[in-house]
Structure 1
Amino acid sequence: MDRRMNRVTVFGGTGFVGRRVVRHLSESAVMVRAASRHLAPAEGDNVEHVIADAHDERSIEAAVMGTDGVINAISLYAEHGGDTFHSVHVEAAARIARVARQAGIKRFVHLSGIGADPASSSPYIRSRGEGEAAVQATFPGAAVIRSAVMFAPDDVFLTTILGLLRTLPAYPLFGDGRTRLQPVHVDDVAAAIAQVLRQTQRPYPIYELAGPRVYSYEELLRTIARTAGLRPMLVRIPFAFWNAAAGLAEILPRPPLTRNQVELMQIDTTASGSRPGFGLLGISPRSLEEELKAMLKQTNEETQTPKETRTS
């Protein structure tokens, strides 16, 4: 590990990925500054939470002051108000990278996603690709982390699928269900990000992080259902319907489905095999099936435990 990485700022440090990166770094005795729009409770003696706005250069300058490394884990899944895919994934990412370079930051790590493509017709996918290019042009030597779809007990991916499988009489498939995915546990991604930041050798420009197994979407649903002891009826639904439904859902404050999610389901999000990944970092990504079994076991134990015991 690079002992020069004593202080690190994590933008998006209270988010799904960011808070786990903060934990991994703090557990390795790094002083961590978790920067986000909303202040969160401190987590340990070596974690500092600060308010920072990625659209405000002075706010970024204050957040990176005195740190050795910067991680940008900010992402946007549905546009709202002034927050657009381009303003967050491209403009804000480039702004953070520029301020970090001007501040003399030694290492910069940027979180993106497998499938990012600046030539895509999808605003979300295109902004991810443009953001990567903007960061690497602004901060030479920056490392980009492309992750496959991430899962965890508190996610909106695996838990949503499981909930719908349990409640719907028939589960609607995206298209013909052949889109390929390679789900990865968010903690494995966070550990990899922390390692890329702190490794002594110069990082590669791009890493691809994906789980140990590739599924078609239909295979994934059947695997989740089988593990949970369910036998669902799967119904193929055209993508045109999904796009229309997602457009309506985005009116809600917390949409259960967004158009960018539908767009991602139309392309394969699997590791290419030509980029460095977990193997190079010495990390063995955990199995979705095993993690789901553990999650279901814990849920069952909590359900069966008497209320008096849980609250005592």
Structure 2
Amino acid sequence: MGVRPDALVAILGGCGFVGRALVRDLHHRGYRLRLVTRRPDRHRDLAVLPRLELWEGDVHDERLLRQVVAGAAALVNLVGILDERSPGDFVRVHEELPARVARAGCGLRLVQVSAAGADVASDSRYLRSKARGEQRLRALAPAAIVVRPSVIYGAGDHFVGRFQRLLRWAPLGLPVPLADSPMAPVHVDDVASGIAAALARTAAAGRDYGFCGPEAMTLLEAVAAIAERCDRARPRGLSAGTSLLLARVLGHWPGAPFSVDQWRTLRAGSVCRAEAPGLPDLGVTPRPFRAALKDLIPGPC
């Protein structure tokens, strides 16, 4: 059965970029929500929502997870990282946590947010760990729903917002690494609507969904669209070899703004599989990237 709007839904990663969009969507639909965060004092704006519980704790604590799902009808796992701060972080977050989610949420409707391009054979550790996490989840919970979004954008994101900032420092045209990397950017509110629809739809159990926007493009084309809205110089693409050299240098900078593994992830692309059901199959019409930029960037940057 699908999850009814008055049910309790537990969300891991609910205080992040995608999580906040999902919280807004589900709360508007009438769901009761329970979120877990290490620092609830940083998210007091969420705590004021009348049907939301904000718990303090570590999502990797399996005992806590069993408490979090008590009385819940569904559990959504949004937790993910783009790069490792310490060796083993990908395994811990993308592989071990989904297994914990499956054990703690046995009998519940489970939704795991993975990534377009997830593949156990990928040379990207990020994409490989995402795929292994799916496998570990499904081995314990075959009815779990797996969502694989492309690049997610929206107000306050790390995609459009990041390139807006970079474009200000490149008056002669921003150099874009692996410019031909394919993607189909999807709006964060469409991702949230898709997850909500999957929760409510009985037939979604055990299925994999590709969440992609309607416009297929390269990274260079996406950045060029942002530059046009910002009234900035058109970006220029870097070759794969030059991009790899850049990744090897920047990967050693504080915060590793661009690592070799991110280069491998970009090279793999972020597109949905043609055979996989997507947002339209859940009744969600994804908005075009270029049209959405008009709302995200109303004037010159």
For normalisation by structure 2, the TM-score amounts to 0.90
- Residue in structure 2 matched with residue 286 of structure 1 by the alignment: 287
% same residue: 30
Secondary structure of the residue that 2:55 maps to in structure 1?
strand
Conserved? CA contact 1:77–1:258, under 8 Å: no
Change (3 A) 1:22 1:173: same
Distance 1:187 1:260 in 2: 28
Query: Which residue of structure 2 lines up, in the alignment, with residue 88 of structure 1?
Result: 93
Kept in 1, the 8 Å contact 2:247–2:258? The answer is: no
SS in 1 for 2:267: coil
1:63 aligns with 2:68: yes
Per the alignment, residue 308 of structure 1 pairs with none
Match of 2:269 in 1: 268
Match of 1:195 among 175, 194, 197: 197
Distance in 1 separating the partners of 2:167 and 2:5: 48
**Which structure is richer in relative contact order (CA contacts within 8 A, separation 6 or more)?**
2
Tell whether the 8 Å contact from 1:174 to 1:236 is kept in structure 2 after alignment.
yes
Q: What's the Cα RMSD here? A: 2.0
For 1:239 and 1:256, locate their aligned partners in 2 and report how far apart those are by CA, in whole Å. Answer: 13
C-alpha deviation, 1:43, in angstroms: 4.0
1:147 is aligned to: 149
Letter in 2 for 1:222: A
- Measured in 2, the distance between the counterparts of 1:9 and 1:257 equals 33
Query: Taking structure 1 as reference, are residues 226 and 172 closer, same or farther at Cα in structure 2, changes over 3 Å only?
Result: same
| TM-score normalized by the length of structure 1 | 0.87
1:219-272 CA-to-partner distances (Å, cap 9, x unmatched) read 2222222232223351525232132134113x33xx433444322211221122
> Structure 1 residues 68, 235: CA separation in 2 closer, same or farther (over 3 Å shift)?
closer
State the alpha-carbon separation in 2 of the partners of residues 198 and 21 from structure 1. 14
Partner of 2:103: 98
The one-letter amino acid paired with 1:50 is W
* Distance of 1:235 and 1:139 partners within structure 2: 43
SS of the counterpart of 1:265? helix
Instruction: Kindly provide the amino acid, as one letter, of the partner of residue 176 in structure 2.
Output: L
Q: What's the secondary structure of 1:10's corresponding residue?
A: strand
Aligned position for 2:32 = 31
- CA distance in 1 between counterparts of 2:198 and 2:155 reads 25
Name the counterpart of 2:23.
22
Contact 2:280/2:286 (CA < 8 Å) preserved in 1? no
| Contact 2:197–2:283 (CA under 8 A) maintained in structure 1 | no
Does structure 2 retain, via aligned residues, the 8 Å contact 1:170–1:235?
no
Shift in Å at residue 4 of structure 1?
7.8
What is the alpha-carbon distance in structure 2 between the residues aligned to residue 204 and residue 139 of structure 1? 8
Query: Is the counterpart of residue 51 in structure 1 residue 56 in structure 2?
Result: yes
Q: Secondary structure at the match of 1:188?
A: helix
In the alignment, structure 1 segments of 5+ residues that lack a partner are: 304-312
